[in-house]
């Protein structure tokens, strides 16, 4: 079995976690909506992840909705003491599977209680406030009102730690005036690197950065350079892309998701994959447009 501890550790709230975790978004039906076609398979993936040493799982009660958290509870409850479950609030799912902002006091309070109930927890370890001001990424705007509501739920003892998702540096600064921010979760990968400077700043602060869509999301990364590097190293292009992220900065926590045990093992194997310096330099050119896609 791969030793995922070789990928190192970083602080997440009150825990020190292994930098290689698991994202549970894909444990639902198509479009992150409805039940999976193979629920037993989803349970098996979660159990394999934890047995392999994964100690932090990313989820949300709006995956499904409710379904992913219910599967996590079925697979892993009662939870190991060292398992950190990170969830997020700030959205609802429409009947047509649309994603709708949900920032009112009632909506955020309901979301926290839904997560607690479906996960079978009395307190949530980490809750990310997901900001949906922009269609294609972060957009400026005050997050004071919803974050103040979430901070009040923290004071009530329902939430231990708070993070932010899909935010700008200005919003992080604003958020820190309201409560401690233990992690930031934004879109970032080998080809989409708008947060380069932010990652460095957060690393200096000791704050975790969790890239979502580390492999491109619904439009997977494609690059001739990536493919050539993978072929030379005898691994897959996606393993190279994940390994690049692991080496990008010490505060990056990875949460690659999958509904397949075989693919999970492939993802976790990158804990032992070290990219040579010249390979990293070659891969860095992809974001600069120097690579045909």
Asked if 241 and 215 count as a contact pair (C-beta separation under 8 A), the reply is yes
The C-alpha atoms of residue 190 and residue 244 are separated, in whole angstroms, by: 7
Q: How far is CA 86 from CA 184, 231, 269, in A?
A: 12, 35, 22
Q: Residue 82: which of 50, 52, 122 has the closest Cα? A: 50
Contacts 24+ apart (CB under 8 A), 243-246: 243/270, 243/273, 243/274, 243/275, 244/190, 244/275, 244/280, 244/283, 245/188, 245/189, 245/190, 245/211, 245/214, 246/7, 246/8, 246/19, 246/20, 246/270, 246/271
The C-alpha atoms of residue 185 and residue 164 are separated, in whole angstroms, by: 6
Asked if 142 and 92 count as a contact pair (C-beta separation under 8 A), the reply is no
Tokens 């050119």, residue?
Answer: 285
Asked if 101 and 139 count as a contact pair (C-beta separation under 8 A), the reply is no
The C-alpha atoms of residue 132 and residue 100 are separated, in whole angstroms, by: 8
22 tagged catalytic:
no
Longest dimension (CA), the chain: 54
Please give the structure tokens belonging to residue 39: 């629920």
- Of residues 22, 63, 103, 209, which has the active-site annotation? 63
The C-alpha atoms of residue 195 and residue 43 are separated, in whole angstroms, by: 34
Count helices and strands (H / E) in the chain: 10, 11
Q: Which residues are identified as catalytic?
A: 63
């Amino acid at each position: 079995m791969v030793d995922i501890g070789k990928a190192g550790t970083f602080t997440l709230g009150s825990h020190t976690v292994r930098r290689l975790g698991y994202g549970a978004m894909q444990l639902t039906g198509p479009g992150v909506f409805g039940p999976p076609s193979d629920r037993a398979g989803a349970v098996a993936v979660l159990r394999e992840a934890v047995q392999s040493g994964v100690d932090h799982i990313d989820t949300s009660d709006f995956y499904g909705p409710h379904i992913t958290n219910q599967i996590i509870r079925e697979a892993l409850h009662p939870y190991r003491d060292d398992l950190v479950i990170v969830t997020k609030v700030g959205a609802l799912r429409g009947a047509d599977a649309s994603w709708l902002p949900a920032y009112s006091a009632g909506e955020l309070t309901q979301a926290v209680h839904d997560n607690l109930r479906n996960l079978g927890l009395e307190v949530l370890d980490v809750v990310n406030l997901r900001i949906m001001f922009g269609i294609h990424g972060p957009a400026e705007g005050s997050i004071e009102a919803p974050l103040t509501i979430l901070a009040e739920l923290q004071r009530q003892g329902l939430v231990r730690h708070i993070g932010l998702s899909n935010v700008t540096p200005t919003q992080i600064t604003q958020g820190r005036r309201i409560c401690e921010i233990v992690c930031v979760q934004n879109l970032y990968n080998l080809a989409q690197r708008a947060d380069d400077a932010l990652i460095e700043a957060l690393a200096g602060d000791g704050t975790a950065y969790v890239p979502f869509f580390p492999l491109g999301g619904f439009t997977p990364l494609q690059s001739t350079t990536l493919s050539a590097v993978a072929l030379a190293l005898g691994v897959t292009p996606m393993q190279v892309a994940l390994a690049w992220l692991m080496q990008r900065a010490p505060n990056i926590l990875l949460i690659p998701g999958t509904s397949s045990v075989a693919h999970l093992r492939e993802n976790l194997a990158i804990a032992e994959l070290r990219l040579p310096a010249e390979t990293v330099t070659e891969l860095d050119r992809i974001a600069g447009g120097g690579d045909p896609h």
